[in-house]
Structure 1
Amino acid sequence: MLYPYRASAAKNRMRWQFGVLVPPSFAAAGSEHSHQRTECLMEPRRGARLTVELRFLHVQRRTVQRQRADRGFEEVDELALSDRVLVPWDEGVPERLEVSFPVDELTVERVSVPFDLPACEVQEVVYENERPVGRLTRRRERLDGVLNLSAAELPGPYGALRLTAVVENSSVWTPPDGADRESALRRSLVAAHLLLGLDAGAFVSMTDPPQWAAPAVTQCRNEHTWPVLAGAAGAADVVLSSPIILSDHPEIAPESPGALYDATEIDEILTLRTAALTEQEKREARGTDELAGAVIDLADSLPPEVLERLHGAVRGLREVTSAGVTSAGPDGDGFPGPSPDTPWWDPGADRSVDPALDRVVVDGRSVGAGSRVVLKPGRRRTDAQDLFLHGRTALVEAVLRDVDGAVHLAVTIDGDPGADLWRAQGRFRYFQPDEVTPVEDL
């Protein structure tokens, strides 16, 4: 559900994008998948128990009916009330499955936990001025799945295990001719993710593993999901395996006053734009979903001091000086940074650096503008867009340094039809030297 939180908005007509596990029969005919696989490393203590919680949404279809004069009902596209406009809508019902096993059992044999959610239908009478004017009918289709768990010891002296958790949609459903994604979604696990917890022991970070665990981490298979450490910073007893890429210990900014359901939320912009919706748009949003109505009420009720906090926050302060910053010239030698009276924020005044001529040594080779490299984005500081570029070759356009002295390579991707446009606009992708490998000039 995205801003402007109305079912009629174009962006809300294609929904359920992440963590969707469709029935196997539908997966075989298209690009969707029916399972997700999590593999991570853990160091359990003697007698430890593993708790696994699967969370997902079960899609239910809501239809709207108006009460006729003969007290019967007829299905309609909308039912206008004084405070909202009710329309048909697919709702997500949160579901949870929690299991717990001694870790030792998982090393002996795989444990399978089947689950099923039966089909159901419920009706809700809609009142206006204390008299019934219509009703909502909610239908859910049957959904079957299985959670498979196993653990295997890693070779070596560390006493670590590789944990494997596979979630599968096992629903038996034969798509009729012309069946579309919307039909499959009602028999799918949506936004499926796992929480894994140890009551004694710790998990190993898959993003920033210790040196001894790095080789084993690279051998883990994670399909359609990615595990990160969760909970407070420094804790390692809980893992969140999510269908989107997160960093270890993800958290919501403390300034955020409530959920806006808009993926990468920009609270201030969304709150102000939501508050600026017309009254008719707000009625449509309230009739689309109760959660959308809560967003509308939140935006309308935030006091000025809360809105002010959304404008920005300072997490920490550090001193920024020009002293000690060095740059490498074409010969690879360092030379002093700008003089103390040169404003650090004015790159035009700093004659000690030249992005077009500066070079940096990577794997023993000098790299600068005109060099070609193979991209290997680091998991520790990347995003999904960069990961898609792993293994691609690119042309280095400039060598840049920030105020902390860190080096960044501005590149354009080989074969990108928009490369000339990005170059003309000075828009590049940026990687650090340890995220590239030099190649011979083509």
Structure 2
Amino acid sequence: MNRAQVARIADAVLYEGYILYPYRPSVKNRQRWTFGGLYPESYSRAQAGADAWSNQTECLVHGDHATTVEAVVRFLHLTARVVGVVEPPLADWTTDGPPSYRPVDVLRVGEGLYHSWQEAEEREVVLDSLPIKDILDRPHRQKFMFRGRSWFEPLRESDGKVVGVLAREQQAVEGEIEATAAAVGEGLFRLTLCVLNRTPLDGTGGADRDDVLLRTLVSTHILLGVRGGEFVSLLEPPDEWREAAAACRNVGVWPVLAGEAGSKDVMLSSPIILYDYPQVAPESQGDFFDGGEIDEILTLRILTLTDEEKGAMAAVDGRARELLARTESLGGEEMSRLHGAMRVVRPFEGDNRHDGLEPGS
């Protein structure tokens, strides 16, 4: 699988909603992680399925029994970052463990501003090449787990005294991937891949959504690759496979062909509805994490933030700081490129239902 061809659009999906304008702790950013969340199974069932604990990708593969498929499941693993005040200040920081501290929402230390926040770490699980013949009507199951951990960072005044602490904690997450195939025509197979969150809640945070989010697979999506065969577009399938394409059942995701236009060896199964061969506009200077807005508008809004607001944005985390620095460094030509561009619309290659119609009819 040539992941380089789809890396940018896949990362855009992964970080969509990571932080929204105005890019600082605000009411709007209290509800993040709105796409592709797979919650622990027990929590989902207690919520009567309102929050999904699994997704299902179904797509078509044209090949034979020797055709192999592979998959990369990607998601964000959240980290709770708590800011604490150390009272009284400590002259030194020991390695025996963190000092006692009082959690606060925000703390200023010298010229630095620190917020309690949720960070994220990229995770991925790889399913190596699976021959179609090995998963025909016989699921291949692969479990995965990422352990929990906690770590601490001292916040020092200019005199070296420890006056605060950044306490980070990551809960363990575990899940399972199921892959199976079924013959649906001559040289045509339906590939089914399910991702399930099997993380136990153990009674520690079952009722609190913020606690549950730490055990959630966030922004879950799948990259699929094929060798010795090719994927079939579900949006524009050949006529002879249209019925088989319509029978594919996708739950919480939508698979589209990805990579170079015309290639059929990679699919992106995304929690966001996309078209075949989606691309990030070449004029875009980088991630804005807020696909509901236009890059140019977000750029102008960032540039009009007050110094205090920019300071709050920079204090959120490294990605917000990078976005701020990138935006402030844009030159006139780069700003002009954001203003707009002409695009050639790719024609629909299926039946033209408007043949024979006269203008104005």
The reply to whether TM is greater than 0.5 is yes
Matched, 1:142 2:179: no
Aligned position for 1:166 = 194
- Residue from 211, 217, 229 that aligns with 1:201: 229
**Secondary structure of 1:308 counterpart:** helix
Tell me the amino acid that sits aligned with residue 222 of structure 1.
N
Matched, 1:120 2:156: no
**Secondary structure of 1:62 counterpart:** strand
| RMSD of aligned residue pairs (Cα, Å) | 2.3
**Deviation of residue 44 (structure 1)?**
2.9
Point out the structure with max Rg over C-alpha.
1
Unpaired runs of 5+ in structure 1? 318-377, 381-403, 408-442
Identify if the C-alpha distance between structure 1 residues 111 and 308 changes in structure 2 by more than 3 Å, giving closer, same or farther.
same
**TM alignment of 1:306-317, pairs within 5 A:** 306-316=334-344
Aligned position for 1:245 = 273
- Conserved in 1, the CA contact under 8 Å of 2:178 and 2:195? yes
Tell me the amino acid that sits aligned with residue 5 of structure 1.
Y
**Secondary structure of 2:125 counterpart:** strand
- Conserved in 2, the CA contact under 8 Å of 1:73 and 1:134? no
**Deviation of residue 199 (structure 1)?**
2.4
Q: State the TM-score, normalized to the length of structure 1.
A: 0.68
Identify if the C-alpha distance between structure 1 residues 205 and 29 changes in structure 2 by more than 3 Å, giving closer, same or farther.
same
Matched, 1:153 2:183: yes
Number of matched pairs? 320
Aligned position for 1:61 = 80
**Secondary structure of 1:307 counterpart:** helix
- Conserved in 2, the CA contact under 8 Å of 1:149 and 1:164? yes
**Deviation of residue 60 (structure 1)?**
1.2
**Deviation of residue 46 (structure 1)?**
5.8
Identify if the C-alpha distance between structure 1 residues 178 and 192 changes in structure 2 by more than 3 Å, giving closer, same or farther.
closer
- Residue from 241, 246, 264 that aligns with 1:236: 264
Matched, 1:5 2:33: no
| 1:16-70 CA distance string (max 9 Å, x none) | 1111111111111221111000100011356332110000011110001234344
| 1:358-401 CA distance string (max 9 Å, x none) | xxxxxxxxxxxxxxxxxxxx9x9xxxxxxxxxxxxxxxxxxxxx
Q: State the TM-score, normalized to the length of structure 2.
A: 0.83
Aligned position for 1:295 = 323
For 1:281 and 1:247, the matched residues in 2 are separated by: 36
For 2:191 and 2:57, the matched residues in 1 are separated by: 8
For 1:177 and 1:255, the matched residues in 2 are separated by: 43
Tell me the amino acid that sits aligned with residue 4 of structure 1.
P
- Residue from 40, 52, 61 that aligns with 1:42: 61
**TM alignment of 1:219-230, pairs within 5 A:** 219-230=247-258
% identical aligned pairs: 37
| 1:106-153 CA distance string (max 9 Å, x none) | 126210000111111111233454835432111111211000000111
| 1:171-224 CA distance string (max 9 Å, x none) | 122556981322211111111010000122110001111101111111111111
**Secondary structure of 2:136 counterpart:** helix
- Conserved in 2, the CA contact under 8 Å of 1:49 and 1:200? yes
For 2:206 and 2:193, the matched residues in 1 are separated by: 34
Identify if the C-alpha distance between structure 1 residues 171 and 309 changes in structure 2 by more than 3 Å, giving closer, same or farther.
same
- Conserved in 2, the CA contact under 8 Å of 1:26 and 1:175? no
Tell me the amino acid that sits aligned with residue 178 of structure 2.
N
**TM alignment of 1:71-82, pairs within 5 A:** 71=90, 72-74=99-101, 75-81=103-109
For 1:227 and 1:84, the matched residues in 2 are separated by: 44
**Deviation of residue 406 (structure 1)?**
8.3
- Conserved in 1, the CA contact under 8 Å of 2:64 and 2:132? no
- Conserved in 2, the CA contact under 8 Å of 1:84 and 1:286? no
| 1:245-270 CA distance string (max 9 Å, x none) | 11011110000011111123411110
- Residue from 26, 39, 43 that aligns with 2:43: 26
**Secondary structure of 2:37 counterpart:** coil
For 1:84 and 1:296, the matched residues in 2 are separated by: 16
**Secondary structure of 1:315 counterpart:** coil
For 2:125 and 2:88, the matched residues in 1 are separated by: 45
- Residue from 32, 41, 44 that aligns with 1:15: 32
Tell me the amino acid that sits aligned with residue 316 of structure 2.
T
For 2:52 and 2:86, the matched residues in 1 are separated by: 41
For 2:157 and 2:66, the matched residues in 1 are separated by: 59
**TM alignment of 1:91-102, pairs within 5 A:** 91-100=119-128, 101-102=130-131
For 2:159 and 2:68, the matched residues in 1 are separated by: 53
For 2:192 and 2:338, the matched residues in 1 are separated by: 40
